[in-house]
């Protein structure tokens, strides 16, 4: 008989909600894939950007966020996860997100390894999809195109683009080493969106927890 694992990432998860993470550099298409998956029954897409945009600054947590953002400072990891958790709880209380039947699709969170550790207290990460695009110029091209489309001219600045890509490489990409290799799938982000989606879904439908939940709910 094999010894019990001491790795907290492999410990029993109890009532933690199942989640998948879509990870990728800016311009890799993770937001697009997250939105598509979120439109499928039994999946709920939660983008980190949406959490901050919907934040009620009159609350205690909202005021804490304002304290940092008004000074142009990064929001601490603990507060980021607290804000995310509060939003998820609000959505669950409103019956918009149904944790007993929905898979969370996380996009833009966690942003670093510490956030991934903190997130383990709230969700069971079933799988991580890494939308890989080694070609930085292709990512930059996509970012410029999106910035122009959304009329966010500052985001089209080359120095801003390169800084965002460098930040991803230094802070976010190491998350891939945090999760067990069997829970990480690399997907070619340069493929057509429908091809990326097909590969992602092919993995999801083989996740044991997804199979279990699908058999419970018609």
Q: Dump pLDDT digits (tens) for 99-118.
A: 989 999 999 999 999 999 99
Task: Report pLDDT for 218.
Answer: 53
As averages over each run of 10 residues, the pLDDT of the chain (218 residues) reads: 38 70 93 94 88 77 78 85 91 92 94 96 96 88 85 80 91 96 95 95 95 77
Task: Report pLDDT for 149.
Answer: 83
For the chain, list the domains and their CATH numbers: 17-206 (3.40.50.300)
Pseudo-torsion of CA 66, 72, 77, 78, nearest 10°?
Answer: -30
DSSP state of 71: T
Task: Report pLDDT for 104.
Answer: 96
Three-state SS for 127? strand
Which percentage of the chain shows pLDDT scores above 90?
Answer: 56
Which percentage of the chain shows pLDDT scores above 70?
Answer: 93
β-sheet bridge partners, residue 187 = 131
Contact, 50 vs 105, CB < 8 A? no
Task: Report pLDDT for 63.
Answer: 81
Q: What's the rounded Cα separation, in Å, for the pair 73 and 149? A: 27
Q: By C-alpha distance, which of 27, 76, 42 is closest to 207?
A: 42
DSSP state of 99: T
Task: Report pLDDT for 8.
Answer: 37
């Amino acid at each position: 008989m094999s010894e019990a694992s001491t790795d907290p990432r492999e410990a029993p998860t109890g009532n933690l909600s199942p989640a998948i993470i879509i990870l990728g550099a800016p311009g890799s298409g993770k937001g697009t894939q997250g939105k598509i998956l979120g439109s499928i029954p039994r999946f709920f897409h939660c983008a980190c950007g949406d959490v901050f945009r919907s934040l009620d600054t009159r609350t205690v947590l909202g005021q804490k966020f304002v304290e940092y953002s008004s000074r142009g400072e990064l929001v601490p990891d603990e507060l980021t996860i607290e804000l995310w958790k509060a939003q998820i709880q609000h959505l669950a209380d409103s019956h918009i997100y149904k944790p007993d039947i929905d898979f969370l699709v996380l996009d833009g969170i966690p942003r670093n390894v510490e956030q991934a550790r903190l997130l383990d207290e709230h969700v069971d990460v079933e799988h991580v999809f890494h939308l890989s695009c080694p070609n930085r110029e292709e990512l930059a091209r996509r970012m410029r195109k999106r910035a122009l489309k959304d009329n966010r001219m500052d985001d089209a600045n080359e120095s801003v683009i390169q800084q965002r890509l460098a930040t991803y490489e230094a802070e976010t990409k190491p998350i891939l080493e945090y999760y067990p290799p069997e829970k990480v799938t690399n997907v070619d982000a340069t493929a057509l969106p429908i091809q990326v989606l097909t590969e992602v879904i092919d993995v999801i439908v083989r996740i044991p927890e997804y199979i279990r939940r699908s058999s419970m709910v018609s």
